[in-house]
Amino acid sequence: MPKNKTKRGKGRLVDHSDDESLNDNASVISMQSDDCGGSLEDGADDIGSVTERYEEKFVQALENAQEKSIQTRLGALQAACEILMLRFMPDTVDDRKITLIDIIEKALRRGKGAEQANAAKLAPLLSIQLAGDDIIPKGLNQTLIVTAQDNSVSYEARAKCCTALGLINFLSEDNIGDILSHMKNFESIFCGSYLKGDHTPSSASAEAAVLHSAALGAWSLLLTLLPPGDFVSFMKERTLLPTLPNLIGMLRSPHLEVRMTAGEAIALVLECGRIHDEDFMDEHLPDLIDMTKQLATDSQKFRAKRDRKTQRATFRDVLRYIEDEISPEINVRFGKETLVLNTWSMHHQYTAVCSAIGSGINVHLAENDFLRDVLQLGEKLLPIGNVTSKQSKLEKHLINAAAFKARTISRSKNRDKRSAVIN
């Protein structure tokens, strides 16, 4: 499954958010896009003025991100992230990409905690805006790797760095050697949730578990870029990639995030391997099925009710794929289009992009050609529906105005006749 800029997203699938039920094998997510409304005459002007205001706020945020005050820089990074999540404005970003990379790098190197986390959050948004421009990983990879592996940095910031590193390289990288190198770096982080030497679960803290989950999620995202034949060879070598027993051991983690991410990663591993070899890792299936069944029916009271529900839903899907090779199907509706996620690979790719863009995902799915190509949506639709809608509103207004005028004239004549009779 070679990866290039014109064919993206082919392969498998993974998790979605808690709000998107995976209890059924087919789910539907509906996303309503923002509609500024307005009349036909002033619609274009309104859109232009809104875009200009966002651009002005973005430029101001970049200026503030270089101030001496920590709070000013932090607020600026948050504002820049929010703007790039909600608006697609590649020209504005492209004109300032060197400045943006410099701001992110300095924040990662010199900042602390929240500032580093928000700087890492900004990095993949640049890649999404700039169609996977390779200047972004070239400028930020090393700093992100160092920060993610630095034990003195907060777990939250390190987790954000892992997520950013995975996504910017997913969107721009096509060298298998570099992809494997990044995956190895991620394994050096999430191996902290492997079983101990005596086969007991890891004693990692809840904060460390968030980091391990983020690193494993980024590893899984890059896995979707590997050709199935090469992937099977790498797994058999047992040196370049983690073994399946190690991943299965992570299912015994005391932390929900690790268990769920590991379960989805295992489904992804099996999906990729089975494309090339239908008997891939069959020797491990009995133990894996037993463990997955336990998690899919877990009712232990010491776990939170919400956690139990989420875990059972996820592992029912994982178990269904392991036993019957049936992937959960999710339809993401936005506007008049539908994005179908019917493999673990596609689901994982969409989830990674969606987690970066947040509430602005519908805007980018509709307008961002590069992202549409990554998610196999094809050419974007022309806004015929919106024009027709506005024209029909205008026509309706004119018809109502004409009817009102005719009614007024008619009533005026009747009033004149009544006045004549009375006189």
Most distant pair of Cα atoms in the chain: their distance: 111
Tokens (6 digits) for 414: 């009747």
Residue 238 has pLDDT above 70, yes or no: yes
What letter does residue 92 receive in the DSSP assignment?
Answer: H
Dihedral through CA 15, CA 16, CA 20, CA 23, nearest 10?
0
Strand blocks (E) in 197-346: 329-334, 337-341
Residue range 343-364: mean pLDDT, rounded: 94
Residue range 307-326: mean pLDDT, rounded: 92
Give the span between the Cα atoms of 216 and 64, in whole angstroms.
34
Q: Left (φ > 0), alpha (ψ -120 to 50) or beta: where does 221 sit?
A: alpha
User: Which fold, 48-168?
Assistant: 1.25.40
**239-289, pLDDT tens digit by residue?**
889 999 999 999 999 999 999 999 999 999 999 999 999 999 999 999 999
**26-60, pLDDT tens digit by residue?**
455 544 444 433 433 444 455 567 888 999 999 99
**63-98, pLDDT tens digit by residue?**
999 999 999 999 999 999 999 999 999 999 999 999
Report the Cα 366 to chain-centroid distance in Å.
15
Strand blocks (E) in 210-263: none
User: What is the pLDDT, as a whole number, of residue 245?
Assistant: 94
Band the pLDDT of 5: cuts 50, 70, 90: very low
Report the Cα 247 to chain-centroid distance in Å.
23
Report the Cα 204 to chain-centroid distance in Å.
26
Give the span between the Cα atoms of 208 and 242, in whole angstroms.
19
Give the span between the Cα atoms of 147 and 154, in whole angstroms.
10
pTM metric for this prediction: 0.80
**375-403, pLDDT tens digit by residue?**
998 887 765 444 444 456 666 777 777 77
User: What is the pLDDT, as a whole number, of residue 298?
Assistant: 81
Residue 178 has pLDDT above 90, yes or no: yes
Residue with tokens 């101990």: 196
Residue 16 has pLDDT above 50, yes or no: no
Tokens (6 digits) for 64: 């503030």
What letter does residue 28 receive in the DSSP assignment?
Answer: E
Nearest to residue 126, comparing CAs of 147, 99, 160, 156?
A: 99
Give the span between the Cα atoms of 169 and 222, in whole angstroms.
8
* 10, 1 contact by CB (below 8 A): yes
How large a percentage of the chain has pLDDT more than 90? 69
331: β partners? 28, 340
Instruction: Quickly list H helices, 4-134.
Output: 43-64, 70-86, 90-95, 97-110, 114-129
User: What is the pLDDT, as a whole number, of residue 75?
Assistant: 96
When the pLDDT of each residue in the chain is averaged and rounded to a whole number, the result is: 85
Element (H, E) at 29: strand 26-31
Q: Which of 135-139, 157-161, 292-296, 416-420 has the weakest average pLDDT?
A: 416-420
